Amino acid sequence: MTLFEDINTKFYLIATISRYSRYHCENTTMMTDSTMMKKIEHRAVIKFLTKQGKTQKIIHEEMVAVYQDSAPSLSTIQKWSSEFKRGRESIEDDPRAGGSICAATEENVKLVEKLVLEDARVRVKTLAEMTKLSVGTIHTILHERLNLSKVSARWVPRMLTALQ
């Protein structure tokens, strides 16, 4: 039986991966969504096969058969399999010590929103200087969190209402 022939395996993996499929700024740094999803998917498979009692070598062989070039290395499988055998349940990375991973906090979002409402012609660089945030963080807040676009040198909502 190969890795995905068992219907229970499919349902377990779909349920596990879907729980971790949303991108959270607080949980990732510069990693893309697809890279993070691959890691989560690989870890879910490793966890499942480890709980089935398969050896690390067999897990690696089955993952190489399914994922080919994108399969994790044997050492990665050994690391995660050992973690799961010791009782670890989470397939996400552990939080790292240090400052906030994401500067786009609710407090910063509200501050940027307030500044943009005061002056719709304000530049991203000026906002970055005023808030002591990076230009990239300001861009993320404006476009992804506040859903704003620059139109004729003014920040406006992407979806305008009839009154606007």
Same domain assignment for residues 13 and 61: yes
Res 162 pLDDT > 60: no
Mean pLDDT (whole number) for 136-146: 86
Over the chain, what is the mean pLDDT?
Answer: 78
pTM for this prediction: 0.49
95 domain-assigned = no
Q: Give the total residue count for the chain.
A: 164
Using pLDDT thresholds of 50, 70 and 90, give the confidence band for residue 51: very high
Same domain assignment for residues 11 and 56: yes
Nearest-angstrom CA–CA distance, 147 and 160: 11
Beta bridge partners of 151: 154
3 state SS of 155: strand
90 domain-assigned = no
- Between 18 and 136, the higher pLDDT residue: 136
Closest CA to 38 of 76, 79, 75: 76
Using pLDDT thresholds of 50, 70 and 90, give the confidence band for residue 30: very low
Number of domains in the chain: 2
Q: How many CA atoms lie within 13 A of 128 on its CB side?
A: 10
Same domain assignment for residues 12 and 74: yes
Pair of tokens at residue 129: 């200087």
15 domain-assigned = yes
Q: What pLDDT does residue 156 have?
A: 67
CATH code of 111's domain:
1.10.10
Nearest-angstrom CA–CA distance, 59 and 105: 39
Domain limits for position 24: 7-85
101 domain-assigned = no
Nearest-angstrom CA–CA distance, 45 and 49: 6
Same domain assignment for residues 12 and 71: yes
133 domain-assigned = yes
